Every structure is written in structure tokens, then in C-alpha cells.
Amino acid sequence: MSNDPQSIEQKAINSIRTLSMDAVEAANSGHPGTAMALAPVVYELWNNYLRFDPEDPIWPNRDRFVLSVGHASMLLYSALHLTGVKAVNAQYETLGEASVSLEEIKKFRQLDSKTPGHPEYRWTSGVETTTGPLGQGVATSVGMAIGARWMAEHFNRPDFEMFDFDTYALCGDGCMMEGVQAEAASLAGHLKLSNLCWIYDNNKITIEGNTAWAFSEDVATRFISYGWNVTRVGDANDLEMLKRAFDCFKKEDERPTLIIVDSHIAWGAPNKQDTHGAHGSPLGEEEIKLTKRNYQWPEDEKFLVPDGVYSHFKEGIGARSKDLRDSWFKRYEDYKAKHPELADQLFKMQKRDLPEGWDSELPKFEPDAKGMAGRDSSGKVLNAIAQKVPWLIGGSADLAPSTKTRLTFEGAGDFTPADYSGRNFHFGVREHAMGSILNGLSLTKVRPYGSGFMIFSDYARPAIRLSALMEIPVIHIFTHDSIGVGEDGPTHQPIEQLPSLRAIPGLVVLRPGDSNEVVEAWKVIMNLKHEPTALILSRQAMPTLDRSVYNSAEGVQKGAYILADAEGGKPDVILMATGSEVGLAIESYEELKSQGVKARVVSMPSWELFEHQTQEYRDTVLPPSVTARVSIEQASTYGWERYTGLTGARIGMSTFGASAPLKELQKKFGFTKESVVEKAKAQLG
């Protein structure tokens, strides 16, 4: 490969660089430095190694490329443009038009463009995951690599290698400092994910300046200790050394690979004071001209792609990957004939559809005053569904015995370095990495779930937020959902977590109030294709309500429903509750009824689902004319005023909890029948 500026390789590399420079300059916003420095890396990987068909960017067995350094988004947009990646719509149809046209590059960082400031999944075809928060991309890539390994074990058969894709992630010093990266790298090394390659841009620069101010560890030695294969490229411009490094990764079959690439970041103009210059703020017209002159590039041309560059990529990644993609689909047709059941599963999984009869064995729970903990009934439902949906897989952050999320049926097995076929995952005490890995798994189209105590949802929150931003149906299961944790005390008792999860746009939060509501909650979850869920479950038993006396739990499907009503359907006061407090609301309702007070109980397991209903339905459940209202929930009352009104009563937590047996805590914080009845009567004046 030639370093001659007039060679086609260098023209292709410099096209990536100059498109990035010109786009950032036009936007007067962004970071060209990393894109300019790493253009040779992306060129070599994409044109000579990546198995990715630009004509079909959602081909199931494609290699995945993750830009963990999301601020260098123009690096990816330039690659998508130059390789001619086609756009795909929400119905998985290739539209024939460019995913990133030259016009879209000119609209970098502008409203509604396909080139937002950081890459966004589902917005721009060819972007495999949303990145920007540093460390998230590499952590998500571990989930993609795990997904490839699990799908290979599940779907591959002799003469039919349906899944063998690799995952590449490009990261920088910022990613290497983030804790989530260390969690994920540790697990990847333990699992021996030899289909995973991280490319570390070792440029010694962050936003504040030189990394020496805050970062002096020996990254190579750290990764060797994790069980990774580590190799180095001393100059990011050395295409021969990059080739050798990628060949080294392809030959490695026992360990994930870290390629450390030394680069010198392109700095902004000397007179610029913006600290983002460390990543390369807009360079300014004069410096752009000087840089282009250095590349032997027409210095007055903007958004130039020289003759031969498009065809060079078409003859490289285009031709190579089209052959791979076409042969895969031919193999799939033969696979359908020989293994029709597996082929049907593969097709349904890719479309996020469910198998016929997936809900045919769901349990029904008989009335029981003692009842069952939400975590216990959920475990039974999860196992019933997982037997019918083979690609429903997941685990816990070291808490499966407590969260009841272990799949216990014959053949479920454990996912280990020795056996990638198991459906039970062990994430270790790594909540943040677990959330990111679940995102990566979901992006490979399996249906993943992960579990932990609700208090530790805070550790996973950035990944939960990204699952909502990407509109992928990850299932987040959180147990030990309230002061019901009792003696474990305030460090383990969630207070503000429930309203904070409800605050995430697009996340469906479900807090079912008895075992049959748990069943209905799982029905909601499994039918979602574009929304992640947070299933909130109790540790303590909740009475299983008699549905011949009270209304059907199917009301969960609408988010909130009338569980018990005043005679004639005309209440004077409404009691609203979620989760373990639904039983308390029913107790209080019965007491009020015995005292001649007309009350209604509304179970509200999901505010989000309720808000999606028609105004007419919502007014039927919560008539505007009935202003006497009481909410009951063992969490912060933040947000309940939306349903109680400013004059309604809100029984909840305004402080942290305490360490004591549950009954004492309920009495101390007002979660008793007497307290609810008193507040309800006070509402009636």
C-alpha cells in the first residue's frame, strides 16, 4: 500500500479527513481531530476486513463496527457516505437511497439531518449503536460479541454456519478511563470472546488537555491481566502495520484483542481558546487550507471526493461483502429446507416477532390472602415464556437467587467460556456493564433481560437511558423495590428510583400489584418491539386478589384500571396504588365501604401505558369530577400530583427509609389501613 498522496488509498483516506474537516467547519461545531487522525484505521478496517454489505446494512451475519468515540461521528458518517451504505426503513426495507448523502454531510449537526452530533441508532442506517457517553460503545460491543457466540451455538449446524460475525469497536483515552469499560473488558476476557476487537486510539489527549494530568496506567498490561490479546501499531498512518494487527486479531481464537494505535490528534487553530480544541474544534478557514495543502489536496475545494474514490470502496468492501451476503442468503434458503424450525426462529427473531403460542403455558394464580412476592411469581412467568421463546436469554448482576431470574427448565444451561449455548448469563457485580451488554445483545436481535436490586438501577442508569433512546426492547428487572427490604436499611431501600425511572422518555415502567398483574405485565413486555421496560417487583409477599370479586388483571394492559368500585360506579374518593400497596388500598377500601364511604381503587402499574390511552378512557378511570384522591406508594411522592391534584393526599416517602422489620417501617411511614382511611376521610372533609 502506498503512502503517495496521489495513490487511491491515500485519496480515500484523505477524503475521510477532508469531509470531516469541512463538515465540522460548516457546522461551526464538532470535533475533526480524531476523525482526521484515525482515517487510515477506518479505511483499512472497512475496505479490507469488515464484512458489511453497504447495499444491505442489516444483513444478520454482518460484522459490527462501533464508534465508541462518538464525538468523532464524522469519521463514521464519512465511511458510510464513501462506501455507499443504503438507508433502511422501520419495516426493514432497503430504500435504495443513500444512508448518508453528501447533502447530509453538509448538514452535519443540523436539525433533522442524518448526521447528528453523535451517532444515533435507528436514525442513520449503518450506525450499529448510539454512542457519545464515553465507555458505552465498547461496553455495548461486548454484548454484540456475546450475541454472536450464543446465536452460533443455537443456530449453526453442520454445513450451515449462519452466525460467525466479529465485532470491532474504536475507543479512546476517555473510554479507557470510564469504569463501565473496565467492567465490560473484564467480563469479555473471562468469557474468551475472540470475536471481539477493540482499537484503542492512544493519542494522550482529552478535553482538558494531556492525559498525563489524570491517566498514567499501563493499559496494555491491564488488558493482558484481563486475559486479552494485546498488539500495538506505532503509527496510525502505517497501513502495513494496521494490516498485520487485524490479521493478528483474525488468527486469535482464545482471547479478545486490543489493538493499541498510537496517533497524533489534529489540533484546532492556535488562536482558538475552546478546550474542545483537544479533540479538534472547527479549524478555521486558514488552517483548513494549510492542512489540505499538506495533503496535496485542492485547498479551495469543499466536500470534494476525487474521481476513483467511490469506485475504490465499491471494488473493496462493496464487492467482497456482497459476495459474503449473497452466499449467506443462499445458505439460508438451503437451511430453511433442512432446518425449518430453526430458520423460522431466526426470521422471527430478526423481525422481533414472537413464536405462535408463546403465552400458552402462562400460570394463573388462585386467590390467596398470604399471596406471593412479585419476584417469585415473575420467576414462574419468566420460565414459562422462555421455554416458548428460545431467544429470550439473560441473567443478573450476581443476584439471580434473589431476583428469581434463573431459567430452571431442562436445557437452559449457563453461558460460560466453555459453553456458549447456555441461556443463563452471569454478569458478576457489574450493573453498568450489564445494562450496556443487554443493549448490545438486543441490537443483535435476541431478547435479553437483566436483573438486580432496584436500588442499584442507579448504577445501570446510563445504559437504561440509551436503551430508551435507541428504542430497543431490553427487559430490565428490578426486585427489592421499596422499604419492604426492611432490615437491610436505607442503603438498600429505593426511594427516588421509581419516579426517576418514570422520568426517562420511552421507558415503560411496570410495578404490578399481585401475581396475576405480574402475568399481565409480562404479556405487555413481550409484545413491545421498540420500548425497553423496567419491571419493578417486590421482595415481600403480596395478597393474590380474588378476581371474581375484583376486576380482571387484564386492565394492566392499559396501565391503570378500576380494580374495585363504589356501588353504581360513582365514588366519592379514589384510592390509587401500585405494587405491594395495591393490597393495602383494597384493605382500606373494604374498611371505608363498611363505614358507608363510597370509594374506588385504581391499580396503576404503569403510568406510561395509562398516558397512552384515550382521554375518554383516562377520565373513566379517574373522573375529573372526583377530586378527593389518595395515592399510596412506598416511594418518593414526586409526580403523583399529576393524578391526585394539588389538593389530594399522597402517602409515600419524603425521607430515606430505616433499618427495621417491615411491619414497624409500615407503621412508622404511614403505610397502614388506619392511615389510608384517615387520609381518605380527610379528603371528604
Which positions are catalytic? 431
Q: Where are the alpha helices (DSSP H) in 191-280?
A: 219-226, 239-251
d(CA 530, CA 474): 9
- CA triplet 509, 118, 130: central angle to 5 degrees? 40
Cβ contact 507:460 at 8 Å: no
d(CA 462, CA 513): 28
Q: Parallel, antiparallel, or unpaired for β 86-88 and 94-98?
A: antiparallel
d(CA 146, CA 420): 8
d(CA 404, CA 381): 10
Cβ contact 161:148 at 8 Å: no
Q: Is the dihedral of CA 503, 184, 525, 529 positive or negative?
A: positive
d(CA 424, CA 379): 13
Q: How many CB atoms are located within 10 Å of the residue 441 CB?
A: 29
- DSSP, collapsed to helix, strand or coil, labels residue 269 as coil
Q: What are phi and psi of 649, to 5 degrees?
A: -95, 140
SS3 content of the chain, % helix, strand, coil (to 5): 45, 15, 40
Give CA separation, 492 vs 281, 456, 465, in Å.
44, 8, 22
d(CA 557, CA 233): 55
Cβ contact 398:128 at 8 Å: no
C-alpha cell at 368: 390467596
- Residues 564-567: contacts with CB under 8 Å, at least 24 apart: 564/589, 564/599, 564/600, 564/601, 565/600, 565/601, 566/598, 566/599, 566/600, 567/598
Residue length, the chain?
Answer: 685
Amino acid, res. 490: P
First and final CA of the chain: distance in angstroms?
86
d(CA 314, CA 605): 52
Distance from CA of residue 15 to its chain's centroid? 33
C-alpha cell at 82: 464513501
Within 8 A by CB and 6+ apart from 614, the residues are none
DSSP state of 640: T
d(CA 470, CA 51): 24
C-alpha cell at 394: 439473560
Q: Where are the alpha helices (DSSP H) in 252-390?
A: 285-294, 309-313, 319-338, 340-350, 374-386
d(CA 292, CA 648): 67
d(CA 562, CA 555): 8
d(CA 644, CA 242): 63
Give CA separation, 442 vs 16, 315, 341, in Å.
30, 32, 22
